[in-house]
Structure 1
Amino acid sequence: MTGREKEILELIKRNPLISQKEIGEKLNITRSSVGVHITNLIKKGYIKGRGYVMNKSDYVTVIGAANIDIHGFTEEKLIERDSNPGHIKICLGGVGRNISENLARLGIDTKLISATGGDMNSKRLIDECNQVGIDMEHSLILPDQNASIYLAIMDVKGDMSIALSDMSIVDRMTPEFIKSKYHIIKNSEVIVVDTCLSRQVIEFILNNFKDKKILLDPVSIRKSRRVKDIIGGFHTIKLNKHEAEFLSDIKIEDARGLKKAVDYFIDQGVKRVFITLGEKGVYYGEGDYTNTYKAPKISVVNATGAGDAFMAGVVYGNLYDKGIDEIAKFSTAAAILALKHHETVNPNMSIESINKIMEEIEC
């Protein structure tokens, strides 16, 4: 591919509906020259005929938070208002980013639209995301801002005891900014949203991409308030028991409560619902069908990234049109893989590793 062809292809990627006249004006060349280059790009297989349909693989777009995670692990039972012995680990995090890394490690072409700054933490975020195969080209970069930070203290079981998050930079992602990424999002096979986004941005996505599978991770009860009355706009939701109770206003104490909650979300318009139950597995439903998939007991190293790994499994299943039972099993195995590693995202995440865990569970 020539240098000029690369320039034209990049313009077409940004706006598949751009005219030959507009391309010529942007590159200061004649319309006829543009036509010749486009003909060559078609012959070489980079684009497909009229409309400049790109010859590329299916991809997923994740829209959400990317930040630095600081995890403190205690060596003994936590004592409040005291200095506790332990060890501290700093790694990349953010629900949207974590889901993206899991997807990239599963071999899925993944674009992450997030917001970050110009400090050293932001540089680390961008560099390491690129290294694992996450495309952050379309994220919002604010040179005068700092990357968002998530601070969590883990108990002796590896579960979060308390956490603080500073993600104000994500609020700089406005509906206008998301609109500027319209063609990238529109061409996605699946769209994933986390509730670190503002209510306005989430509504814009739901209103403008209704023909797409839009999947939701509510992140937390506090942040999930932003979607409580628009939950029916999502194709698939993955949430824990507490988030399910809050969003449905249904107390979940047994299987009957779980069934009522799933039925509520389905009645609102959601196609698939997954309610994770920690060591008790996952309760899920689609239409009139509900089921429980129980997870085996394992030794937990770090529970922080389990939900994100599970969500990546749900995205994978929706991307490849898997049945809901198969998705539940696959996603549970992905979560188990995450639980076995100190990193928020297990670097050993892969289809092969998940299949191996699934085989072990069936034995």
Structure 2
Amino acid sequence: MYDITALGELLIDFTPCGMSEAGMKIFEQNPGGAPANVLAAAGNFGAKTAFIGKVGKDMHGEFLKETLKKYNIETKGLIMDEKVFTTLAFVSLNEKGERTFSFARKPGADTCLTKEEVNLELIKECKIFHFGSLSLTDNPSKEALLYALEKAKEMNKIISYDPNYRPLLWENRDIAVKEMRDVVKYADIMKISDEETELLTGCKEPEKAASKLIEQGVSLVFVTLGSEGSFLKTKDFQIRVKSKKCNVVDTTGAGDAFWGAILYKLAERENSVFQISEKEGTEYLKFANTTAGICVEKRGAIPAMASLEELLMKINI
């Protein structure tokens, strides 16, 4: 059994890491892609994980496959395709570590996964099936994701959804809103950022946005609030937990680090994930906030995910 199986993008984040002698930006090759980041974060704490997706059969694809293996993420569901190139994201950071993106994805390998290539065994054998929204931007990956979601529902899996809005990858905002909202019906648990509340629900305030998602059938809604911490709402209670101050270097992967920590906590539960208490919810938010805080103090996504030792040291300070 796997604790978490994720489907979606696996790509290279080219992250700035200084200037050359000629005054040109130097970019560092970092493995990334939100679903893979989530698995790496959860796996660092001991979760058993598996990935479903596609990369090119090229130098970047080989590097990404080896990275998944290094983080003990099952790669049986990873397709390597000679006909397409591994997706690349170039990240620009401002003085606060906040990001803007430029993508080489026309098409990128992640958008070319077909439903016939989805490894259903990895879904059948997991506790939690996790997905993001970037697979919805293009076909055939959209068809592959919807097929996987239908199968996960049939198998009564806990379905986790983390929408990840990247304006450059959509034809326009209206299409993005429609597609990202249409799949909420599959989700049992969700994580949205404070920047995505209005996009997903029409409500800007985290409390109202979370309430709207609960009304649509989501059981647990987590909202990340950047440096302000995070928020959790269930049908029975809501909690907000503040973050500790961090030395922000790069915010890439922070939300994924947070969500990987939450999914790890939910997967290790003996009781139903839908029966968490207010006390447990508070502990989960503190755990996940600390995980995200460690991530932003490093460059990149997967390499910046906290180890259990790092987390235990930080959480007790």
The TM-score range, normalised by the shorter chain, is 0.7 to 0.9
Equivalent runs, 1:201-350 vs 2, <5 Å? 201-210=144-153, 211-220=156-165, 222=167, 225=177, 226-250=179-203, 252=204, 257-321=205-269, 323-346=280-303, 349-350=306-307
Show the counterpart of 1:92.
31
Change (3 A) 1:133 1:265: same
Equivalent runs, 1:189-200 vs 2, <5 Å? 189-198=127-136, 199-200=142-143
* CA contact 2:250–2:296 (8 Å) conserved in 1: yes
1:135 and 1:183 map into 2 onto residues whose CA distance is: 12
* CA contact 1:73–1:154 (8 Å) conserved in 2: no
* CA contact 2:258–2:291 (8 Å) conserved in 1: yes
Matched, 1:171 2:111: yes
Aligned-partner residue type, residue 296 of structure 2 = L
Aligned-partner residue type, residue 124 of structure 2 = K
Structure 1 residue 182, shift from structure 2 partner: 1.6
* CA contact 1:279–1:295 (8 Å) conserved in 2: yes
* CA contact 1:237–1:270 (8 Å) conserved in 2: yes
2:100 and 2:296 map into 1 onto residues whose CA distance is: 16
Secondary structure, counterpart of 1:259 in structure 2: helix
Looking at both structures, which has the greater relative contact order when contacts are Cα pairs under 8 Å and sequence separation is at least 6? 2
2:25 and 2:121 map into 1 onto residues whose CA distance is: 47
Q: What stretches of structure 2 of length at least 5 have no aligned partner? A: 137-141, 171-175, 270-275
Show the counterpart of 2:46.
107
Secondary structure, counterpart of 1:189 in structure 2: strand
TM-score w.r.t. length of structure 1: 0.74
Matched, 1:122 2:65: no
Pair member with larger Rg: 1
2:23 and 2:243 map into 1 onto residues whose CA distance is: 32
Q: Percent identity?
A: 22
* CA contact 2:86–2:108 (8 Å) conserved in 1: no
Structure 1 residue 97, shift from structure 2 partner: 1.6
1:123-151 CA distance string (max 9 Å, x none): 11112221221211221221232211111
Matched, 1:131 2:84: no
2:188 and 2:312 map into 1 onto residues whose CA distance is: 26
1:81-104 CA distance string (max 9 Å, x none): xx9765422111111221122222
Aligned-partner residue type, residue 313 of structure 1 = A
* CA contact 1:101–1:345 (8 Å) conserved in 2: yes
Matched, 1:61 2:5: yes
Q: Which runs of 4+ in 1 moved over 6 A?
A: none
* CA contact 1:337–1:346 (8 Å) conserved in 2: no
* CA contact 1:272–1:285 (8 Å) conserved in 2: yes
* CA contact 1:74–1:155 (8 Å) conserved in 2: no
* CA contact 1:73–1:156 (8 Å) conserved in 2: no
Q: What stretches of structure 1 of length at least 5 have no aligned partner? A: 1-56, 76-82
> How many pairs align?
290
1:174-200 CA distance string (max 9 Å, x none): 22322xx22221110111111122343
User: Cα RMSD between the aligned structures?
Assistant: 2.2
1:213-268 CA distance string (max 9 Å, x none): 11111111546632312313201111111211111011x2xxxx222111100000
Change (3 A) 1:154 1:221: closer
Aligned-partner residue type, residue 111 of structure 2 = D
Aligned-partner residue type, residue 196 of structure 1 = L
Give 1:182's match in structure 2, choosing from 105, 120, 125.
120
Secondary structure, counterpart of 1:124 in structure 2: helix
2:116 and 2:158 map into 1 onto residues whose CA distance is: 22
Structure 1 residue 74, shift from structure 2 partner: 6.7
Show the counterpart of 1:9.
none
Aligned-partner residue type, residue 45 of structure 2 = L
Change (3 A) 1:243 1:316: same
1:94 and 1:137 map into 2 onto residues whose CA distance is: 18
1:330-351 CA distance string (max 9 Å, x none): 1111101101112323456222
